[in-house]
Homo-oligomer: A and B are copies of this chain.
Amino acid sequence: MEPCNVRIVLVEPSHPGNIGAAARALKNMELSELVLVNPRQFPHPEASARASGADDVLGAARVVPSLGAALEGCGYVAATTSRDREQYFRVSDVRAAAERLVSEARRAPAAVVFGAERSGLSNEDLEKAHTLVRIPASPLYASLNLAMAVQLVAYELYRARGAAAPASVPLAAPLASTGELERLYAHLAEVLEEIDFRDRTQSGTHLMARLRRLLQRAEPDQNEVNILRGILTAVQNRRRSAGGGRG
């Protein structure tokens, strides 16, 4: 993952726990620069506890006396708000804002600014930003916890840098080949015939087609096909050693 020159700025955070939780959120999403404007209590044991394994990010957090100082050297600046009535500002959805921030941060440091837990950012603070960032949330209760908002922004920044968890089925062996699967289905059909199994459902789809589709969805690997073949063989052996059943 390329480094990401986006600093996270918390203006006058009240709860040291939120500072620690924010540090952890940054580290989880490969961000490292946390700037605190006049935190009410910092350093604080509650911040350290909530930072958990991100004590390095917390320890490197800078404390500054003003938002201006926090933004020194920054180019693009985004400010979070949950208020709906900020007029004349550009407003971006957090996902689009994250893409813009990552792109801008390749040229110059960028910043995302978060306000205090209860009051949010002042108009004067908001006016330092190029865009306001809105996180979609319930109109009935749109007020996210400060550290949660930091987590969501950090997560979208991480995704904007190209991160996504790959969809997969991690297998110990290679996926079974078409031929192996065909032999499995043939074996299964043989056994079903030997045990005289009839489909009792009303489905119009033929029994073997349904079983094939079920097993195809499961994406079995070679080991698993071998296991299923072993079970089928065991069923046959048992029937044979028991005298061949009803046939």
- Residues of chain A at the chain B interface (Cβ within 8 Å): 1, 21, 24-25, 27-30, 50, 52-54, 85-96, 134-138, 140-145, 147-148, 151-152, 155, 158-159, 163-172, 219, 224
Task: Kindly state the separation between the CA atoms of A142 and B50 in the bound complex, as whole angstroms.
Answer: 15
Cβ-neighbour of A165 out of B89, B135, B164 (below 8 A): B135
A31 to chain B, nearest CB (A): 9
- Show 23 A/B contacts (Cβ-Cβ < 8 Å), sorted by A: A1-B138, A24-B145, A25-B148, A27-B141, A28-B138, A29-B138, A52-B143, A54-B141, A88-B224, A89-B169, A89-B170, A90-B168, A91-B168, A91-B170, A93-B166, A94-B165, A96-B167, A135-B165, A136-B155, A136-B159, A136-B164, A151-B151, A152-B155
* A164 contacts B93, C-beta separation under 8 Å: yes
B93 touches A167 (CB 8 A): yes
Kindly state the separation between the CA atoms of A181 and B21 in the bound complex, as whole angstroms.
Answer: 48
Complex: chain B residue closest to A144, CB-CB = B28
With a cutoff of 8 Å between Cβ atoms, the chain B residues found around residue A145 in the complex are 21, 24-25, 50, 52
Given A27-B138, A137-B158, A144-B151, 10 further pairs, Cβ under 8 A: A28-B137, A28-B144, A29-B137, A53-B141, A85-B170, A88-B170, A89-B170, A91-B166, A138-B158, A152-B152
CB-CB under 8 A from A224, the residues of chain B are 88
Contact of A30 among B52, B138, B151, B155 (CB under 8 A): B138
Cα distance, A139 to B10, chains bound together (Å): 25
CA distance A224 to B89 in the complex (A): 13
Known A-B contacts A27-B138, A138-B27; the reply to A90 vs B169 at CB < 8 A is yes
